[in-house]
Amino acid sequence: MKIALINENSQAAKNALIEKALRKVADAHGFEVFNYGMYAADDAAQLTYVQNGILAAALLNTGAADFVVTGCGTGEGAMLALNSFPGVICGHVEDPLDAYTFAQINDGNAIAIPFALKNGWGQELNLEYIFEKLWCEEPGTGYPKERVVPEQRNKKILDGVRAAAFRPLVDIYKDLDPALVKGAFAGERFREYFEANAADGEIKDYVLSLIA
């Protein structure tokens, strides 16, 4: 599995701490981690939580990433931004129990963590425990286990509703502020990671045309 880490500007200083906790768990599972930044608060490429959603949608809809770990101060803005785009199901995850139930019941492909709110001593431990519970079992197997059949049925219904509700991603990008969209792909390592991992197609071609 390819996991993308995305930080917006208010919490960019914590990127290394988050990446360390994420890699510790990902390495144990044999997962790959791609850190798309921001890497520091003074990075030249500044990401807002809205741009987290623009970037995450491109990664998930092209297969450049199978899962996105992101967040903001409260996690709420990032969650809302990611869920504004097709092909993204993002949960708001504050603790290991949130991580476990989101993975087992909702079987999404992204989480938004509050990196500032209610975080102090032990933040690195909470992050590590979140990632452990997120991938401790095969996602979508249900919780409690006797609820697996209706939960999986409801997930398929939700997928159908979302498929009907959203337009193609490139059409959405074209209707947004061009500077906002282009800025989401301005990270130092974006082109390197995206070109190597994204599947060929309209989304990849459009995104690369913006940063050519």
Please give the pLDDT value at position 80: 98
Across the chain, the runs of DSSP E, i.e. the strands, are 2-5, 32-35, 67-72, 90-92, 110-114
Among 88, 6, 9, 3, CA closest to 41: 9
Residue 103 vs residues 6, 13, 119, 209: alpha-carbon distances, Å: 19, 27, 22, 35
pLDDT digits (tens, 9 = 90+) for 150-190: 999 999 999 999 999 999 999 999 999 999 999 999 999 99
The model's pTM is 0.97
Q: How many structural domains compose the chain? A: 1
CATH of the domain at 152: 3.40.1400.10
Please give the pLDDT value at position 71: 98
Q: Which domain holds residue 136?
A: 2-210
pLDDT digits (tens, 9 = 90+) for 6-53: 999 999 999 999 999 999 999 999 999 999 999 999 999 999 999 999
